[in-house]
């Protein structure tokens, strides 16, 4: 048994956040590529059964989407054995519950080793080694269990169905929203002032702007998509305040973010009425900090409400 907590992996880079945010679609694509009868229920046994197929499909060095799916799935299984969270060190890694004192494992390295060895035993050996450490610690600490942070795989559960693209996008967006809500709550808890300040009112957006400008000086944010955790958390709050006061809903169009396309690859707020302009809170918050222009965030917030 592994305990699950909500939270944001500390120090996770922008690349790491993008990896994590894409897990729902990545795992759904993997399920869609598998033969009938092979169940991916996030158990160690399912990962062991998957290895022979990995060796066959990846031996030629192709199938990039399949490879990424296996890497994502292997990491999710390892988290369910040894706890911990996703990290990113030039590639996705699993950082285990600190109590285990285990080095991080890069699932991609395990996949490469499985393809090289071709004996179908790499995943099982790795799982057994981690499980043995967990069992030794349990023996000395009655009632202790590893703890892991929730991931997008928890949103799709253990159901062995691919779903359609719309459902996968919804899973990714729901995960991003939930993660940023937790991150915002943790951030403002360190600021003091009480929960009443953060009531999603226009006045609270003014307060947020002052705090952001006071805490993040010029040069601390260089682009909308550099993964700054405060920018992402603040963007969630601004979007929620827009919806509360002006209506609309969160939406997401998958793709790679670009300077000439503000919507693709970024969560945005779509107005309830047709013909009105969308708002991209992440870009708005980043521009505030890049420009260091007092009143910029409030003006963009009111523009959404007044249109």
172 shares a domain with 122? no
- Separation CA 126–CA 113 (nearest Å): 11
Tell me what pLDDT residue 9 has.
Answer: 82
pTM: 0.60
| Total residues belonging to the chain | 307
Enclosing domain of residue 108? 3-163
Scan for tokens 């229920």, then name that residue: 41
Of 117, 139, 163, the residue at which a domain comes to its end is 163
Q: Which stretches of the chain drop beneath a pLDDT of 50?
A: 61, 158-165
One domain for residues 156 and 187? no
Pairing of strands 268-270, 85-88: unpaired
- Please answer whether residues 71 and 92 qualify as being in contact, where contact means their C-beta atoms are separated by less than 8 angstroms: yes
Give the span between the Cα atoms of 300 and 177, in whole angstroms.
21
Q: In terms of domains, do 218 and 155 share one?
A: no
* Pair 184, 250 in one domain: yes
Strand partners, 92: 88
User: Within this chain, do residues 200 and 118 fall inside the same structural domain, yes or no?
Assistant: no
The tally of domains found in the chain comes to 2
Q: Which of 113, 148, 163 is the last residue of a domain?
A: 163
CA 108 to chain centre: 18
C-alpha to C-alpha distance for 200 and 305, rounded to whole angstroms: 13
How far apart, in whole angstroms, are the C-alpha atoms of residue 249 and residue 170?
12
d(CA 218, CA 198): 25
Same domain, 127 and 248: no
Answer yes or no: do 115 and 178 share one domain: no
Q: Are residues 133 and 240 in the same domain?
A: no
For the stretch 234-251, pLDDT in tens is 999 999 999 999 999 999
| 79 and 204, same domain (yes or no) | no
- Residue 13 shares a structural domain with residue 47: yes
pLDDT for 252: 85
pLDDT at 158 (0 to 100):
41
Residue pair 158/73 in contact by the 8 Å Cβ criterion:
no
Q: Hey, what are 83's tokens?
A: 């706890």
My answer on whether 38 and 158 are in the same domain is yes
264: helix, coil or strand?
Answer: strand
């Amino acid at each position: 048994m592994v305990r699950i907590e909500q939270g944001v992996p500390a120090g996770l880079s922008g690349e790491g956040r993008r990896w994590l945010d894409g897990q729902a679609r990545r795992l759904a694509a993997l399920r869609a590529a598998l033969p009938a009868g092979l169940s991916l229920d996030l158990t160690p046994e399912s990962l062991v059964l998957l290895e022979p197929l990995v060796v066959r499909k990846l031996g030629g060095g192709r199938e990039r989407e399949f490879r990424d799916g296996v890497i994502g799935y292997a990491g999710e299984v390892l988290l369910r054995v040894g706890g911990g969270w996703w990290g990113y060190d030039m590639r996705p890694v699993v950082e285990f519950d600190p109590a285990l004192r285990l080095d991080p494992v890069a699932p991609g390295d395990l996949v490469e080793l499985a393809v090289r060895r071709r004996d179908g035993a790499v995943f099982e050996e790795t799982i057994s080694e981690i499980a043995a450490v967990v069992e030794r610690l349990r023996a000395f600490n009655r009632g202790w269990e590893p703890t892991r942070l929730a991931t997008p795989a928890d949103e799709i559960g253990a159901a062995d169905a691919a779903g359609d693209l719309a459902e996968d996008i919804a899973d990714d967006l729901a995960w991003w929203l939930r993660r940023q809500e937790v991150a915002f709550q943790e951030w403002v808890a360190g600021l003091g002032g009480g929960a009443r300040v953060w009531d999603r009112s226009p006045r609270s957006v003014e307060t947020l702007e002052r705090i952001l400008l006071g805490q993040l000086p010029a040069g601390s944010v260089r682009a909308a998509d550099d993964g700054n955790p405060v920018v992402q958390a603040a963007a969630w709050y601004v979007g929620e305040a827009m919806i509360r006061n002006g209506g609309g809903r969160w939406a997401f169009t998958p793709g790679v973010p670009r300077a000439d396309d503000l919507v693709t690859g970024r969560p945005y707020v779509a107005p309830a009425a047709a013909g009105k302009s969308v708002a991209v809170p992440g870009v708005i918050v980043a521009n505030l900090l890049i420009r260091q222009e007092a009143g910029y965030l409030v003006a963009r917030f009111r523009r959404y409400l007044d249109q």
